Amino acid sequence: MEKLLNDSNCIIKIIKLYTMIKKILMLVLMAAPLSMVAQKVAHFDFEAVITAMPAYKTAQTELEAITKKYEADMQDMQKELQTKYEKFQKEINDQTPANIRQRREQELMEMQEKLKQAYEDNSKAIQQEQMNKMQPIQIKVNDAVGAVAKEGSYALVIDKTAAQATRIFINESISEDVTKKVMAKLGISATAAK
């Protein structure tokens, strides 16, 4: 869980996967011989745009705080289970009646199951928080890309990171990089990206 949450690239990948299907469909439609006129194509760096956004940085900070709370909760539960297990080991011996032994073993198994369920619930809650915080940011980026595409009369604007992940080649010599234009639409200076 910690690795998933500490890897900011994971959040970006989740967002990219969400839009990748839409972009691939758009690419297929644009590749169809709809017209014989040469069409303008552009690309942008989604990762550079999103990581430069103040809202993204705020969301990351909030997600880290939420994650720490969930991790602390899990550590407390693990300590409680460990303490009970150690107590069980000390108190139970060959002279312990079978019904007491079974009851204590059952308590430990129930605690272990509760810990497992809490881990799953916490993981789902964190994923939901990530989606809730990142979706509005994703929408803003998509809107900015759409505005840049419309203003520049681009038939297609491709996220170059997603393109690489899906093995789509972008010939940057004939495709315009509109990353700075997208950032400008979002009110982000190009120096904020660095």
Structure confidence by residue, pLDDT tens digits, 44-71: 999 999 999 999 999 999 999 999 999 9
Q: Would you list the domain boundaries of the chain?
A: 20-193
Average pLDDT over residues 154-171: 80
Alpha-carbon Rg for the chain, nearest whole angstrom, is: 25
The predicted structure's pLDDT at residue 94: 77
The predicted structure's pLDDT at residue 36: 45
pLDDT at residue 25 greater than cutoff 70: no
pLDDT tens, position by position, 72-111: 999 999 999 899 888 888 887 778 788 888 888 899 899 9
The predicted structure's pLDDT at residue 82: 92
Classify domain 20-193 by CATH number: 3.30.910.20
For residue 135, report the phi and psi dihedrals to the nearest 5 degrees: -60, -45
The predicted structure's pLDDT at residue 106: 92
Mean pLDDT of the chain: 83
pLDDT at residue 27 greater than cutoff 70: no
The predicted structure's pLDDT at residue 180: 94
- Greater confidence, 164 or 145? 145
- Greater confidence, 97 or 116? 116
